[in-house]
Amino acid sequence: MPILKFTVHKTTEEEFYFRLRNIADEVMITSRNYSGFSNCINDICCLQAYKDFSIEQDLQFATGQYRFALRSANGRIIAKSPYYLVRTRMIQDMKVICENMREAAVEDRSTLVKFFRRVNTKI
């Protein structure tokens, strides 16, 4: 069973993005938005097949929180992590991503029906 899993989602504006989740289903990174499904999948494939991306750490001085971003070889930010309060936890997650991303499963959740308003049903 893979330790990590990519999940592909669709926004209400019909754009696509992916999240990389760990075995506990916690979000480790969230990608930028893509205009098409194939562009989103292509970046996932590139992350898995090639190691030509860099990981950049960032500290928000105002809040004291950390985060990291994956940047492609052409300088484009592909995905960002959530904010961390503890830097050592962030570094552990970065290591898990680097060591296990290649074997991560890919799940398409972009076709799931989502309700954005309350739906009343009569029984």
pLDDT per residue rounded down to tens, the chain (123 residues) = 679 999 999 998 899 999 999 999 999 999 999 999 999 999 999 999 887 789 999 888 888 899 999 998 888 999 999 999 999 999 999 999 999 999 999 999 988 655 555 555 565
Give the domain extent around 96.
Answer: 5-108
The CATH number covering residue 93 comes to 2.30.29.80
SS (H, E, C) the chain: CCCCEEEEEECCCCCEEEEEECCCCCEEEEECCECCHHHHHHHHHHHHHCCCEEEEEEEECCCCEEEEEEEECCCCEEEECCCECCHHHHHHHHHHHHHHHHHCEEEECCCCCCCCCCCCCCC
pTM > 0.75: yes
In a domain, 100, yes or no: yes
In a domain, 56, yes or no: yes
In a domain, 51, yes or no: yes
Q: How confident is the model at residue 7, as a pLDDT?
A: 96
- Report how many domains make up the chain: 1
